[in-house]
């Protein structure tokens, strides 16, 4: 069973790329799957919509009893490796807050939300 999940909106395109196929989200999903080792500790899960349609690419990193991190406005071309690097940081923090300075540079340009775990 996966320890953590990386959710990727596969349908989103930012406002400048509304009609582009495949979507920016689908392209990011492909890059992540190609870059990720077949680890049983990470599940990359495609979702149809994360309700941030004009702010592609959109992802969320989540694990039981840990905060969820939501990233929007990710540049699809550079984000896959940065997200996988973030997953390692997230895993090592074991639920503790991740200092902004530890984020990969590509993710620092994104909109980020930290959502507390449900109790």
* CATH number of the domain that residue 11 is part of: 3.40.30
| pTM (2 d.p.) | 0.86
pLDDT per residue as tens digits for the range 92-117 = 988 788 999 999 999 999 999 999 98
DSSP secondary structure of 46-114: EES--S-GGG-S-EEEE-TTS-EEEEES--TTTHHHHHHHHHHHHHHHTTSPPPGGGS-HHHHTSEEEE
Domain range for 105 is: 4-115
pLDDT per residue as tens digits for the range 73-92 = 888 678 999 999 999 999 99
Inter-axis angle of helices 79-93 and 24-35, nearest 10: 60
Q: What is the number of structural domains in the chain?
A: 1
């Amino acid at each position: 069973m996966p320890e953590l999940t990386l959710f990727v909106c596969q349908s989103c395109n930012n406002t400048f790329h509304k009609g582009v196929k495949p979507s920016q989200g689908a392209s990011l999903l492909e890059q992540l799957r190609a870059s990720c080792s077949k680890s049983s500790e990470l599940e990359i899960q495609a979702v149809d919509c994360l309700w941030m349609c004009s702010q592609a690419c959109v992802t969320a990193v989540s694990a039981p009893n840990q905060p969820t991190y939501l990233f929007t406005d990710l540049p699809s071309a550079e984000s896959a490796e940065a997200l996988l690097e973030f997953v390692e940081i997230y895993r090592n923090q074991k639920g503790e807050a991740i200092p902004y300075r530890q984020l990969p540079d590509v993710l620092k340009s994104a909109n980020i939300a930290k959502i507390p775990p449900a109790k």
